[in-house]
């Protein structure tokens, strides 16, 4: 029991539940079995014991079993069976219910409650006479090793009565007695903790059994499929009714049932009664398991009131882990398991209290383990291996075999982020591990960053929303008295001094009505026509003596034929309130001084100071530092110098309205900021209140969804709008933004170690893309810095710097240890004998051809059923009866045919529990191999002192193997601690258990390099193992900085002998370290503590 406790469970709480000492009841039937996996494990473990009991009953009461149908036989045949395995293949036995049938029954009949599935392990027993059947039923009731959980009989003497009430619809007219029972008194069942599993035994007359034909069974299955289709519709209706009408309220007992209970109590009827009354009873209750009782013919009497199967029923509470348990008050009243009273005893207690006897319940009773034995397929197992297998079986039967995966899921889901696997690592190291953001959210530094992000983006988003209404509901600019349209580039490509004129026949300003003066629907008094102005060089000037507010402008193309080439493709609209000083007209020549792409917002022209108020395209600057800033002093409109295309028609009107679409603006300049701020806020709250409620997502999921929502808003509202309206540059910018947000969503939400890489990818894309857009918008790639990248750049720079600092600190902490190891290595290299051994070791490693770069993972077996037919036949055709007897029926049921000693390249071990179970079994087998290797190579192990167990010394195995007392004190390396496993998974292995190769590990110590090299040769040539990878750290070419000077030979290997294959661990990779004695003696407890601190700093 010590091995299971210390190495497998590593928990005193679990060890108390699954202890391997004399069995003691810790409480039975406390909570129903709530998983199909646990139920199937119980059925598999109890099936042999249950079948032996049925065989015994058949032998005592002339019971028979159904023979398999033969081609030359006439009808259904029955025969007695002595339970021998040699003749088992002749009989059609019940066995374990198929998984598909279980799933269908749970879905359509049992409300997905596995505790109500009472026929997972079932058997049928046939009798020639009713008296034999009755005698068997009487024996079951009085057998002290059995506990009857319920009886159902369809063998009514008045069959017409059943037909009139329609009771035969549930069993298609089939007559039988169904007994649900537990092997409560079986020591073998108690030993495996399955004596509370409810099995089903059908007692049937042979005459009735012969009526059944293959055609009838096929018709029954077809009828059942049709019935399930109707039940599916009814189930959906009932669930909708419970969800929206009734709520989660348990159904009350029916009045008829209550009246019957009261009547029986008053009359003092015994539930046993005459057995003939049971045979005369018909029942159509297929959802409840009825206890054996007496009653009037044609009626059905339950021992206990009907109780709901829903997990929210009275007296049952759903725990945080989803387990169904009884609340404290209910346990105090009804925790005692209700067993069937003996004949003639009172049943008032059973009638007065609710009962859970009709539910499958996990058992918390453990039993005394047996000694060494041989399996039915020829494997000789040691006493310790038998204890281990029984312990694993009990864990499976009690539903605790997945405790590691549950803990891993809790840490990954954020329920236990403050786990030892995370809170010991440095902050910078967390960002290189799994779920980096959620792990780092437990540190105050990252929470501060989240607060800053939330505040900045909330403020800018609110400002952007407010400024939209401020600058779009009123005038965009003004009032100004003079406006000027300056053509910078024409359709034919002329620019600068080559521009001969403005290229337009009319130009004017649109005021608050958002209409041009040329609109036909305007009232004559509403608008003042723009005064005429003669073209002057490349500028066209209009003057409004009273001043005018501006919400846009209009222009008309030139009217002359052949003037299309002079149409403006790039222009600027200027405005001023100053008086123009034309003088001799030399100021007009300043137009030609403009170069294409100049982006100034103010200029002096003809004695006036001009403000740029328009270009063909524009963006927005929504985040004003002061919302009260006057319109004249703050440019909400971000004018960009990108070409446009005016109409080709001559004299055509072209308008430019400074009134963006609400969705277009909000989708790009407001919603993304608000989504990111909301995501940061939710992540912060989720990190601070991780133990309260399940509504909020994990921090990394919240931030990832925020960026994803940001990308969606830009794509839907801005990209599609820009692409549809012919704005290719804006469409390209919005698409670039979407890609960047998707990269951030993937980086923050990724469960692996690529967070920093994703952030840097976004930074490169953002900076590079924005430089391209800046060049297109303003003619310079450095005109304006990117506003999205600052916060991410802070993370991407500061985290690697902190990581580098922690790495240097870790190396500094181990520098003294490395100095001692390096000094010892230098001493070894100075010796000619040692150097010769080192060189020989390198030759051996090269000859083996397995270096540290070899790909090595924990794999599952190859599935033959997924191979092509030719290869499948090659593997499956070789299965022998001995092998098939060792295969769990579950694999045959699911159609999964696994090939021993053949790893599936694409199927890696994904369960920590599976990994530790394999490691526990392989570890015991590996110890036996290590002992043999130590004998042949004079290897040494650490042994604790008899006087003081805390003091250890190295001893040769050859000196202690003959002394049981000294051999018992040898300190075998324990399996990897669960906490360290989770550290590796989260820090370096991306939550992939298949990368853990040292769960089972051992160390062999040698006096010198010669014996070490000899041992390596012995291991490599051992047919019981297969070496997968070699790490030779005792090499002159090895960089000792990687392990702080520590050196050894690390071997990853698999056990491939008959025992390992029979126990399904031949693919599990273990680790063996070969160490020189001088290096082993340098390893101290203080040095290991420093190593742990350094490991946590660098988050390895």
CA torsion 974-980-981-986 (nearest 10°) is: -170
With a cut of 80, say whether residue 1004 has pLDDT above it: yes
Which of the given ranges, 324-328, 349-353, 371-375, has the highest pLDDT on average?
371-375
The C-alpha atoms of residue 180 and residue 201 are separated, in whole angstroms, by 6
Which pLDDT value is given to residue 691?
58
SS3 325: strand
Average pLDDT over residues 374-386: 80
Average pLDDT over residues 736-758: 85
Average pLDDT over residues 38-53: 92
SS3 573: strand
Q: How many CB atoms lie within 10 A of CB 164?
A: 9
Burial of 420 from C-beta contacts in 10 A (0-12 / 13-18 / 19+): middle
Summarised one tens digit per residue, pLDDT across range 113-126 is 888 899 999 999 99
With a cut of 50, say whether residue 7 has pLDDT above it: yes
What is the widest separation between alpha-carbon atoms in the chain? 134
The C-alpha atoms of residue 198 and residue 354 are separated, in whole angstroms, by 18
Question: Are the CB atoms for 568 and 490 separated by under 8 Å?
Answer: yes
Answer yes or no: same fold for 23-352 and 835-858+909-1083: yes
* 248 vs 452, higher pLDDT: 452
With a cut of 50, say whether residue 1011 has pLDDT above it: yes
The CA-based angle 458-459-460, given to 5 degrees, is 95
- Any idea which of 278-287, 460-469, 471-480, 865-874 has the lowest mean pLDDT? 278-287
The C-alpha atoms of residue 445 and residue 440 are separated, in whole angstroms, by 8
Which of the given ranges, 260-274, 347-361, 740-754, has the highest pLDDT on average?
740-754
Closest alpha carbon to 482 in 629, 606, 566, 592: 606
Average pLDDT over residues 55-72: 86
Domains of the chain: which residue ranges?
23-352, 421-461+665-796, 478-657, 835-858+909-1083, 862-904
Average pLDDT over residues 814-832: 89
SS3 507: strand
Reply yes or no: is the peptide bond before residue 479 cis, omega within 30 of 0.
yes
Beta strand pairing call for 199-205 and 121-127: parallel
Contacts of 810 (CB under 8 A, 6+ apart): 1093, 1094, 1095, 1097, 1098
Which pLDDT value is given to residue 270?
33
With a cut of 80, say whether residue 197 has pLDDT above it: yes
DSSP codes joined into one string, 134-203? HHHHHHHHH-TT-EEEEEEE---S-HHHHHHHTGGGGTTT---EEEEEE-TT-HHHHHTT-TT--EEEEE
DSSP codes joined into one string, 420-461? HHHHTS-HHHHTTSTTHHHHHTTSHHHHHHHHHHHHHHHHHH
Alpha-helix residue ranges (DSSP H) falling in 290-337 = 328-334
The C-alpha atoms of residue 295 and residue 273 are separated, in whole angstroms, by 7
For the chain, give the percent of residues with pLDDT over 90: 27
Question: Are the CB atoms for 485 and 539 separated by under 8 Å?
Answer: yes
Q: Which CATH class is domain 23-352?
A: alpha beta
* 1 vs 721, higher pLDDT: 721
Fold of 835-858+909-1083: Beta Polymerase; domain 2 (3.30.460)
Query: What are the structure tokens assigned to 19, written together?
Result: 């202890």
SS3 810: helix
SS3 720: helix
Q: Where are the beta strands (DSSP E) in 188-290?
A: 199-205
The C-alpha atoms of residue 1069 and residue 1055 are separated, in whole angstroms, by 8
Average pLDDT over residues 181-194: 88
DSSP codes joined into one string, 996-1047? ---SSEEEEEESSHHHHHHHHHHHHT-TTEEEEEEEE-SSTT--GGGGTT--
- pLDDT-derived band of residue 804, with 50, 70 and 90 as boundaries? confident
With a cut of 70, say whether residue 340 has pLDDT above it: no
With a cut of 80, say whether residue 588 has pLDDT above it: no
The C-alpha atoms of residue 547 and residue 483 are separated, in whole angstroms, by 10
- pLDDT-derived band of residue 415, with 50, 70 and 90 as boundaries? low
- pLDDT-derived band of residue 267, with 50, 70 and 90 as boundaries? very low
How much is the pTM?
0.74
The C-alpha atoms of residue 435 and residue 408 are separated, in whole angstroms, by 12
The C-alpha atoms of residue 848 and residue 1016 are separated, in whole angstroms, by 10
Question: Are the CB atoms for 989 and 996 separated by under 8 Å?
Answer: yes
Which pLDDT value is given to residue 692?
54
At CB < 8 A and 24+ separation, what contacts does 86-95 make? 91/65, 91/66, 91/67, 92/65, 92/66, 92/67, 92/68, 93/51, 93/65, 93/123, 94/121, 94/122, 94/123, 94/124, 94/200, 94/202, 95/47, 95/121, 95/122, 95/123, 95/889
With a cut of 90, say whether residue 994 has pLDDT above it: yes
Average pLDDT over residues 476-505: 86
Summarised one tens digit per residue, pLDDT across range 598-655 is 457 888 888 889 988 999 888 888 765 444 444 444 568 888 888 888 888 988 889 9
Average pLDDT over residues 189-214: 88
The C-alpha atoms of residue 250 and residue 258 are separated, in whole angstroms, by 16
């Amino acid at each position: 029991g010590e091995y299971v406790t210390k190495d497998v469970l590593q928990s005193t709480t679990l060890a108390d539940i699954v202890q391997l000492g004399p069995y003691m009841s810790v409480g039975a039937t406390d909570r129903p079995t709530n998983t199909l996996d646990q139920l199937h494990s119980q059925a598999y473990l109890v099936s042999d014991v249950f079948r032996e009991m049925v065989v015994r009953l058949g032998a005592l009461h002339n019971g028979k079993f159904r023979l398999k149908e033969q081609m030359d036989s006439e009808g259904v045949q029955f025969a007695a069976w002595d339970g021998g395995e040699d003749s088992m293949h002749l009989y059609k036995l019940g066995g374990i219910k198929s998984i598909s049938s279980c799933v269908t029954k749970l879905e359509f009949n049992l409300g997905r409650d596995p505790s109500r599935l009472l026929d997972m392990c079932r058997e049928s027993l046939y009798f020639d006479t009713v008296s034999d059947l009755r005698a068997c039923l009487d024996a079951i009731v009085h057998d002290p090793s059995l506990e009857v959980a319920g009886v159902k009989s369809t063998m009514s003497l008045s069959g017409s009565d059943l037909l009139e009430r329609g009771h035969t619809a549930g069993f298609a007219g089939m007559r039988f007695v169904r007994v649900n029972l537990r092997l409560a008194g079986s020591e073998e069942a108690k030993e495996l903790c399955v004596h509370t599993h409810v099995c089903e035994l059908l007692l049937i007359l042979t005459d009735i059994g012969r009526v059944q034909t293959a055609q009838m069974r096929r018709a029954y299955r077809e009828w059942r499929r049709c019935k399930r289709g109707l039940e599916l519709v009814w189930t959906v209706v009932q669930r909708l009714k419970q969800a929206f009408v009734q709520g989660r309220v348990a159904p009350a007992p029916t009045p008829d049932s209550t009246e019957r209970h009261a009547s029986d109590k008053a009359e003092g009827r015994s539930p046993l009664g005459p057995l003939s009354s049971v045979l005369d009873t018909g029942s159509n209750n297929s959802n409840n398991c009825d206890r054996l009782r007496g009653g009037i013919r044609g009626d059905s009497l339950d021992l206990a009131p009907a109780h709901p199967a829903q997990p929210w029923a009275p007296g049952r509470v759903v725990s945080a882990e989803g387990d169904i348990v009884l609340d404290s008050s209910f346990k105090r009243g009804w925790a005692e398991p209700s067993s069937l009273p003996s004949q003639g005893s009172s049943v008032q207690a059973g009638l007065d209290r609710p009962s859970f006897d009709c539910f499958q319940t996990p058992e918390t009773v453990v039993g005394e383990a047996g000694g060494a034995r041989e399996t039915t397929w020829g494997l000789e197992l040691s006493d310790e291996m038998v204890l281990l297998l029984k312990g694993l079986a009990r864990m499976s039967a009690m539903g605790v075999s997945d405790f590691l995966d549950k803990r891993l899921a809790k840490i990954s889901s954020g329920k236990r982020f403050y786990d030892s696997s995370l809170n010991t690592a440095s902050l910078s190291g967390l960002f290189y591990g799994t779920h980096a953001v959620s792990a780092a959210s437990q540190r105050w530094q990252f929470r501060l960053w989240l607060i800053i992000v939330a505040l900045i983006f909330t403020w800018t988003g609110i400002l952007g929303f407010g400024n939209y209404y401020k600058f779009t509901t009123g005038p965009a600019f003004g009032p100004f008295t003079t406006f000027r349209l300056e053509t910078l580039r024409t359709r034919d490509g002329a620019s600068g001094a080559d521009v001969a004129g403005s290229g337009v026949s009319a130009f004017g300003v649109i005021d608050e009505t958002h209409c041009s003066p040329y609109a036909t629907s305007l009232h004559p008094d509403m608008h003042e026509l723009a005064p005429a102005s003669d073209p002057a060089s490349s500028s066209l000037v209009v003057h409004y003596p009273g001043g005018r507010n501006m919400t846009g402008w209009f222009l008309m193309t030139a009217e002359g034929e052949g003037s299309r080439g002079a149409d403006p493709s790039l222009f600027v609209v200027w405005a001023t309130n100053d008086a123009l000083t034309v003088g001799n007209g030399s100021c007009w020549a300043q137009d030609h001084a403009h170069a294409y792409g100049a982006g100034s917002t103010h200029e002096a022209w003809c004695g006036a100071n001009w403000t740029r108020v328009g270009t063909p395209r524009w963006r927005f600057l929504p985040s004003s530092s002061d919302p009260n800033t006057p319109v004249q002093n703050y440019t909400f409109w971000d004018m960009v110098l990108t070409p446009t295309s005016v109409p080709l028609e001559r004299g055509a009107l072209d308008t430019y309205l400074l009134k963006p679409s609400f969705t277009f603006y909000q989708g790009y300049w407001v919603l993304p900021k608000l989504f990111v701020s909301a995501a940061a806020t939710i992540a912060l709250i989720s990190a601070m209140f991780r133990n309260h409620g399940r509504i909020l997502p994990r921090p990394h999921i919240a931030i990832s969804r925020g960026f994803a929502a940001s990308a969606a808003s830009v794509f839907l509202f801005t990209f599609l709008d820009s692409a549809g309206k012919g704005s290719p540059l804006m469409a390209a910018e919005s698409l670039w933004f979407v890609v960047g947000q998707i990269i951030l969503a993937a980086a923050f939400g990724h469960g692996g170690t690529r967070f920093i890489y994703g952030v840097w990818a976004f930074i490169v894309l953002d900076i590079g893309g924005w430089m391209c857009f800046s060049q297109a918008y303003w003619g310079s790639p450095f005109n304006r810095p990117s506003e999205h990248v600052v916060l991410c750049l802070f993370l991407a720079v500061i985290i690697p710097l902190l990581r580098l600092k922690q790495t240097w600190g870790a190396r500094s902490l181990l520098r003294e240890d490395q100095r001692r190891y390096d000094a010892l290595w230098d001493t070894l290299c100075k010796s000619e004998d040692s150097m010769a051994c080192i060189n020989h070791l390198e030759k051996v490693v090269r000859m083996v051809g397995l270096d540290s770069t070899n790909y090595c993972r924990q794999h599952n077996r190859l599935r033959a059923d997924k191979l092509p037919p030719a290869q499948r036949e090659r593997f499956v055709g070789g299965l022998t009866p001995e092998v098939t007897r060792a295969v769990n029926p579950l694999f045959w049921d699911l159609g999964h045919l696994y090939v021993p000693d053949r790893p599936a390249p694409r199927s890696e071990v994904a369960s920590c529990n599976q990994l530790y179970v394999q490691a526990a079994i392989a570890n015991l087998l590996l110890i036996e191999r290590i002992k043999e290797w130590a004998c042949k190579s004079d290897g040494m192990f650490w042994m604790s002192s008899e006087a003081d167990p805390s003091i250890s010394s190295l001893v040769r195995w050859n000196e202690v193997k003959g002394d049981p007392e000294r051999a018992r004190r040898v300190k075998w390396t324990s399996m990897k601690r669960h906490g360290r496993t989770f550290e590796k998974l989260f820090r370096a292995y991306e939550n992939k258990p298949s990368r853990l190769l040292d769960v089972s590990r051992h160390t062999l110590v040698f006096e010198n390099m010669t014996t070490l090299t000899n041992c390596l040769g012995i291991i490599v040539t051992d047919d019981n193992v297969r070496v997968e990878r070699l790490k030779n750290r005792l090499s002159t070419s090895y960089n000792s900085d990687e392990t702080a000077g520590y050196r050894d030979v690390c071997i990853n290997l698999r056990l491939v002998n008959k025992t390992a294959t029979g126990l399904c661990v031949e693919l599990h990779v273990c680790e063996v370290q070969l160490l020189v004695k001088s290096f082993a003696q340098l390893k101290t407890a203080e040095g290991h503590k420093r190593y742990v601190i350094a490991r946590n700093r660098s988050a390895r």
